[in-house]
Structure 1
């Protein structure tokens, strides 16, 4: 090219410029047709343009117009999961937000009406903990001192603390949502729908009150659900002490299996069972031991060489299979005295470790349980029924009641006076000390293990028996699995039967009550006198008003707790009906979102029932055990249908060091800085084009974000810029050109429209971005660059070029609009004068010419040129240096003969030859990776190896098939073995090669030298500030040895740089402009 006009397409091309012309005359003036976005520039600052687009959308009410113009159309239902507004959004929110914007934009262009209502999660631990932090509250006692009404009032105010910032972020990322019509889970209408759902479940027999061991957060004074312990960051590595302690046998229960065993084996009377635990703090609550009835247990006499000398000569009972795990403690000289089946030990009694509950009925005996294994420990499991679900179930079978010597603060009560008031974890040290002093510790070690923590406070949980309300998920589990498998489409697909499906298969009853303050109430009132039991469940304000005589003005505590009435079933009239104090799990709120946002069933009943399930939802993969899961639970339980038809479960956004994003580590680019430097479209492209939308994780880097500018924003802008530079009048829609490059780019465009449509129909956004990226590359780095001579000649002489480029841009901006909403808006309005690209219909591919053969052939030509460029680069042969010959070798090489001139010009060779005899220039060798292929192929792997070595294989559609057996990626390598490897390269997409003649002669070198001088003089013109049409005089100073070359090519050089006077000077002092290779020049305008 003669000149670099700003940042047009030439800045991203890799072409040689030997045929460039200085006849280019930018006309300009035809675009833009609007001035909404400021003066046109070929070097745009995208963040500034985006701000102007956002301002325009606001003034124009473009979003609302996109909704209104589809009135009466079919609706596409999208559920927007509610975030908390008591913290600022992060990259994870932005990622999800971009998907939430792309799909509705696309569906709107496809003719649907897509409502996008924003919502806020307001209740629960996240809100309460943030309020406590702001108020300096350390425990529940301070809340009660402050007053529940005041605390909840503060929660209501603080929960939307960052709502304004959220709106700014969401708006800045060009995400269209309805904030004004949004819902809040703390709204009365929303909460009424929530209590309706609870009552419906109760009436269906799917809600019950139970007493079970639950994960309990002592830091937050509330039980949690099992799925909450599976959320991100819930399990953390933690070091805890482990103890193996002794339980000396004292006899056997009358009538038990062990009574006879003991009588026949008196050695048991002088034996102690040993049991291992990772929670020493539960030992004061020990009420039993469990063994597996089918496991063999051994009485082992401890050797004199034991690592614990005080136990030498004593008898211990443990699983025979685990004797080796206690080799040091038992000693090499240990002796197995006797063995027993676990079933024969049932009923043995033992001496309690502590005396706190020594008189507890039925306690301190050996029980049998199938869950006991020999994978670790001793095969004897210590039972503390207050702190283990299996323990509780086993003890219940043996009539051992639960004792809970730990309070709601996680501290020991007066029932264990030595440790009273101590947090259970802090008490471990004292308990271990006392047990060692009592001679009960066989082994004391430290273990590092993954342990559940509160997903909000980060403190370790304990498992503790508590009364709670549950949803009977197990009753609907099979139906949930069935509906997920048959009626929900997942992206990525493997989540359906993998992470989500397996979670459903193991689903347990859901603990929905929280002993907290700020949340939707459990709408259950019970009698305060057990002599006159009664339970009332309410599902509406009307029902509450009917029974209590007053219509609640809020459903929050403490007001809702103040609704009391006499118990109708108490003839004395003394007992009262009072609400149970718990509130609902915040996930019950968010799981109710599909119907509660519409105040169903009190309003919008017909609409909701005809528009559910939702067509689409999206969140990160962790929600397969959170929001996705609980939406599914409630929808199946209430309506016997899934809550959604299609779901994208994307991966996790990581910092630039590959770890979780951390404010303290500053391991990720600041969001606002990225918006200000690169713009939201660049960030959108980076996130949407990554593997994260297929379930993988993504490391956020500044370089990666800038790739969004390079891959899509600049190519599209550069193509528009090229049209802007050279069009003297508005172009027209046209697909009638008979120029092969025009026909190619239009057919390529049609193929791209089809591909992107299919991708977005399948919600495969990453693949859609890839299709757009590939087309932009073909447009700017091939079509525009190969067509530039026609553009330089002007739209009067070559209207077909301008019309084709206009048509391509008009369609491309619509196709890319959901992916790059702001850049496409600027181009569209400037190009067409239309109100907004987002008010346009999706392109009709039938209006574009289709020619798959042409597209395939031209793409092969492009790949041929790319392969040739690689050879040049490897041999350090610049593009401006002409070469003699290029040979194309692949089976149907003749199909490219009609493109000879294009290939010759592009790769700068004098001659292009074609051959179908690939073996004449090289071959491909396949080698089998037996380590990878072996596990899949089994004995066939040797058959495949033999076939490959003998050449008995073929490549079918890119897949290697050896002796009829197809190999998978990674199971083999395919290497090129060329006759001239330094001058040969494989052509992508075809089973063929190109061979470049890299031998130089004097003629080639002189022509290349002349091309370099042309480029140098072009740069000199630019630096001199000359117009592209200016004629000049040139005085070219060259080394003496290049004088002959300069004179030989003088006419060519002068013509290309518009020189009317051209003088060659050999040697001498350097002139004004350096034109490389020891050459310099003076230039002057004529």
Structure 2
């Protein structure tokens, strides 16, 4: 390159068309997002537009508890729903999405009780109506707080139409739905074991139970045989194993398996460690005996006999706590649930403290004793332990067994155990009188299983999960012994114990609840509901409340059907734990009353965990809240994190992962800024017809067409991370590092009215509009900011918000697979040239690609054909290029494609002071050192 005196480049800066836009490089989302929330509210921009002759899309919102600030699980759930709603608006659907809140139940009641406890008051001292009103106010306050927090996440819907389970209308429909179960014989009052919280003094649903590791005391206990028709076993002891010693006072039988093999053992020496004396006999399952003896080193024994379990029929044992008042015989009974996996091959049966125990008791007519009170203390009828708390007396029970030589051994045992999800206290099975919905009556289980088969479950594996749960679930216990909730509006006959089934009475109940709310059940007289047709003294109101899962499970009735929507919801979307919660209660309620499921598709997401995959908790100090994220990054970064994650699995989050999302966001924002800056003064008169566009612009349109189709299909299938991967890749690989890189020269330096510049800008308009349309369901705030900038600075549009712009079918002639193949080869050539230019730059032979002249050998027909009709130096961003037929000295073969060889030389010329390209200098002193293209551009622009 010749050394010549150059004119200062600053003389030509004002002639270059540099980008200009108010869309800043720095997003400042934390501050600016609030502005767009206000804009949406003032302009009634919502995800619930209604147009005639348009298909509906119904997303029924599973109601979160109105209790406490939002956590990231809430954010994940609502952002996913919002992305879907915004996408379906763009697909041309009428979206029906009404946000809801679950306002009854233990979590809220527990918080109100806490307030009373802090002031030294007992909840039982408070008037019930006053207490319920406190709960109502507490729930209402959190509905408003959570509502504002959801808005800050960019969740868009008609918030004024939000539903709660505690309005008169909602409660009246819940009552109406519940009474239908009574009227058609599906509801019954039963006495059986249920999951019971001794802390909260109520039965709990399976969905209110969480399993945690618990250290229990496991014991092997002797039950001496006192009666049998088999002489050989009369002086032996049955050995049972249990991890709940507190249930032994409720023991009424021992179960064996008819399929297992048992051994009758005689000890030939004392074994003090196991409270065994010489010549003592025990009976133990064969396989488990070997494990037990190896563990304790038992060697001195004889096997007297071996038999199947049914050999022990008609055998009775002495209760091991006989000397403490348990003076009754315990029968040995066959039980199908007995296995040889752990223990001794025998299971002690306490019919009031286990479902399988209860079923055996019912089968064989055993007494179901009342052993434990609602607060966890032994009942007055329990010998010796009466009034003592079950969890505090276990050591005493073990000591008593040891004193009486009935204990073989005890040890700590760690296992997964049910706990209350609210109080975190361990639960027990306790036999109580509760109201149940029968799974067998009128084939509810069968109906639900058939309905499951017709639903689209995402992911597919979730179908097997709910099938298993419904197949095995017991009857639905719907009564709770609490105060805050929808009451079980049933009258029971004092003499018969039977519920009153009278449709006129039920209509009256529903009507009164609609007018006055459910408090009327507790404050109103019996006559108010029963009228004059019944003797009021013969009936009592049930004072229990309904399981809150029935409330939310019937929400499809009061949120959708009550508004005249007869079709099923298109989508239910919640966390995977709702297979045993809301999905199941909704399914059972709808199948029983309406004969089918209330949903077409059920989509589940995982849980949000910390960076190590652990559950977040305040005690561990690993909690990241939505508020934390918004204050540091802005809601769009959280929305971006959701969209780029595989939400079907559990999601890990950390500030490091959010930093990575910020980098992805920055690249996308820069793409939008480049487009807006270079489309200033755009006029539709610039539009160039597709057939007249350069090949590069046609290729970019093909990419837009291809991505548009895939993004739309991905949104339809709720595959957001695939959609966003495509969008992000398009911004990085097709735009920033390719199309924008190549076309900067045309945009900045070509004449304003040149066809080349018009062509680039024509396609850039296509890029911008489609990119905003793809991004807006996810980056709701940033897309709006860019769209309003477009409207204000470049071209006004009919739609007041980007969220009102529908997806449009793109012209078919944009699609060109052959062009995609061609540019695939061109990109390989470009990459190869860039590689060798970079080597020269590292060697300090050249400073930029514009100083290089590549000589390119292409040994492949496809590569040669690909460059036909293409200005290769424009694509390579070099000042010159030469294609050669043979490789000469200095050529290097490209490692990634042996059909390409390249030699890079310094192009001999001078640098244009305007565009910086190298051109051949003619030596005339009048030259201002600008190339002919730039000289023409300056003259044309002037």
TM-score (norm 1): 0.75
- The DSSP-based 3-state class of the residue aligned with 1:502 is helix
Alignment of 1:574-589 (within 5 A): 575-589=537-551
User: Are the structure 2 counterparts of residues 851 and 246 from structure 1 closer, same or farther at C-alpha, using a change threshold of 3 Å?
Assistant: same
1:248 aligns with: 224
User: Are the structure 2 counterparts of residues 194 and 1053 from structure 1 closer, same or farther at C-alpha, using a change threshold of 3 Å?
Assistant: farther
User: Are the structure 2 counterparts of residues 134 and 848 from structure 1 closer, same or farther at C-alpha, using a change threshold of 3 Å?
Assistant: farther
How far off its partner does 1:567 sit?
8.6
CA distance in 2 between partners of 1:895 and 1:489 (Å): 48
How far off its partner does 1:41 sit?
2.7
- The DSSP-based 3-state class of the residue aligned with 2:216 is strand
- The DSSP-based 3-state class of the residue aligned with 2:784 is helix
CA distance in 2 between partners of 1:564 and 1:128 (Å): 29
Tell whether the 8 Å contact from 1:867 to 1:994 is kept in structure 2 after alignment: no
How far off its partner does 1:576 sit?
3.0
How far off its partner does 1:660 sit?
1.2
Matched, 1:60 2:43: yes
Alignment of 1:966-977 (within 5 A): none
- The DSSP-based 3-state class of the residue aligned with 2:811 is helix
Deviations 1:503-523 (A, max 9, x none): 233233211111111111112
1:796 aligns with: 753
Structure 2 gaps of 5+ residues are 1-10, 887-891, 917-926, 936-942
User: Are the structure 2 counterparts of residues 213 and 673 from structure 1 closer, same or farther at C-alpha, using a change threshold of 3 Å?
Assistant: closer
CA distance in 1 between partners of 2:505 and 2:828 (Å): 68
Deviations 1:725-756 (A, max 9, x none): 46344455555242111111111101111111
User: Are the structure 2 counterparts of residues 913 and 590 from structure 1 closer, same or farther at C-alpha, using a change threshold of 3 Å?
Assistant: farther
How far off its partner does 1:348 sit?
1.1
Matched, 1:782 2:758: no
Tell whether the 8 Å contact from 2:270 to 2:276 is kept in structure 1 after alignment: no
2:448 aligns with: 480
Moved more, 656-665 or 766-775: 656-665
2:301 aligns with: 334
Tell whether the 8 Å contact from 1:534 to 1:569 is kept in structure 2 after alignment: no
CA distance in 2 between partners of 1:131 and 1:629 (Å): 29
User: Are the structure 2 counterparts of residues 562 and 902 from structure 1 closer, same or farther at C-alpha, using a change threshold of 3 Å?
Assistant: farther
1:300 aligns with: 265
Structure 1 gaps of 5+ residues are 1-20, 33-38, 253-258, 916-979, 986-992, 1019-1027, 1032-1051, 1061-1086
- The DSSP-based 3-state class of the residue aligned with 1:710 is helix
Tell whether the 8 Å contact from 2:860 to 2:899 is kept in structure 1 after alignment: no
Please give the root-mean-square deviation of Cα atoms over the aligned residues, in Å. Answer: 3.9
1:94 aligns with: 75
Tell whether the 8 Å contact from 1:247 to 1:272 is kept in structure 2 after alignment: yes
Matched, 1:146 2:126: yes
How far off its partner does 1:443 sit?
1.7
How far off its partner does 1:895 sit?
5.4
- The DSSP-based 3-state class of the residue aligned with 1:386 is coil
1:944 aligns with: none
CA distance in 1 between partners of 2:475 and 2:645 (Å): 37
Tell whether the 8 Å contact from 1:246 to 1:272 is kept in structure 2 after alignment: yes
How far off its partner does 1:107 sit?
1.7
Alignment of 1:207-222 (within 5 A): 207-222=187-202
Tell whether the 8 Å contact from 2:198 to 2:374 is kept in structure 1 after alignment: yes
Matched, 1:656 2:611: yes
- The DSSP-based 3-state class of the residue aligned with 1:799 is helix
Quick one: which of 407, 418, 427 aligns to 2:373?
407
Alignment of 1:123-134 (within 5 A): 123-134=104-115
How far off its partner does 1:69 sit?
5.6
- The DSSP-based 3-state class of the residue aligned with 2:745 is helix
CA distance in 1 between partners of 2:265 and 2:883 (Å): 87
Tell whether the 8 Å contact from 2:447 to 2:596 is kept in structure 1 after alignment: no
User: Are the structure 2 counterparts of residues 562 and 435 from structure 1 closer, same or farther at C-alpha, using a change threshold of 3 Å?
Assistant: farther
How far off its partner does 1:544 sit?
2.8
Matched, 1:460 2:426: yes
Moved more, 697-706 or 803-812: 697-706
How far off its partner does 1:662 sit?
2.2
Matched, 1:905 2:888: no
CA distance in 2 between partners of 1:523 and 1:129 (Å): 23
How far off its partner does 1:161 sit?
2.7
Aligned length: 888
How far off its partner does 1:269 sit?
2.1
TM-score (norm 2): 0.86
How far off its partner does 1:720 sit?
3.7
Tell whether the 8 Å contact from 1:720 to 1:809 is kept in structure 2 after alignment: no
Matched, 1:118 2:99: yes
- The DSSP-based 3-state class of the residue aligned with 1:460 is coil
Quick one: which of 130, 135, 138 aligns to 2:116?
135
Alignment of 1:706-717 (within 5 A): 706-712=659-665, 714-717=667-670
Tell whether the 8 Å contact from 1:214 to 1:463 is kept in structure 2 after alignment: yes
1:48 aligns with: 31
Quick one: which of 306, 313, 318 aligns to 1:346?
313
Matched, 1:823 2:782: yes
CA distance in 2 between partners of 1:105 and 1:827 (Å): 17
Matched, 1:239 2:196: no
User: Are the structure 2 counterparts of residues 735 and 698 from structure 1 closer, same or farther at C-alpha, using a change threshold of 3 Å?
Assistant: farther
Quick one: which of 143, 167, 181 aligns to 1:187?
167
CA distance in 2 between partners of 1:551 and 1:485 (Å): 36
How far off its partner does 1:712 sit?
4.6
Tell whether the 8 Å contact from 1:620 to 1:652 is kept in structure 2 after alignment: yes
- The DSSP-based 3-state class of the residue aligned with 1:781 is helix
- The DSSP-based 3-state class of the residue aligned with 1:136 is helix
Alignment of 1:521-536 (within 5 A): 521-530=487-496, 535-536=500-501
CA distance in 2 between partners of 1:1007 and 1:653 (Å): 57
User: Are the structure 2 counterparts of residues 911 and 225 from structure 1 closer, same or farther at C-alpha, using a change threshold of 3 Å?
Assistant: farther
How far off its partner does 1:801 sit?
1.2
How far off its partner does 1:848 sit?
6.3
2:922 aligns with: none
CA distance in 2 between partners of 1:539 and 1:889 (Å): 91
User: Are the structure 2 counterparts of residues 298 and 54 from structure 1 closer, same or farther at C-alpha, using a change threshold of 3 Å?
Assistant: same
CA distance in 2 between partners of 1:250 and 1:900 (Å): 103
CA distance in 1 between partners of 2:658 and 2:825 (Å): 30
User: Are the structure 2 counterparts of residues 443 and 868 from structure 1 closer, same or farther at C-alpha, using a change threshold of 3 Å?
Assistant: farther
CA distance in 2 between partners of 1:347 and 1:889 (Å): 93
User: Are the structure 2 counterparts of residues 669 and 224 from structure 1 closer, same or farther at C-alpha, using a change threshold of 3 Å?
Assistant: closer
Quick one: which of 394, 408, 415 aligns to 1:428?
394
Alignment of 1:376-415 (within 5 A): 376-415=342-381
Matched, 1:701 2:660: no
- The DSSP-based 3-state class of the residue aligned with 1:365 is strand
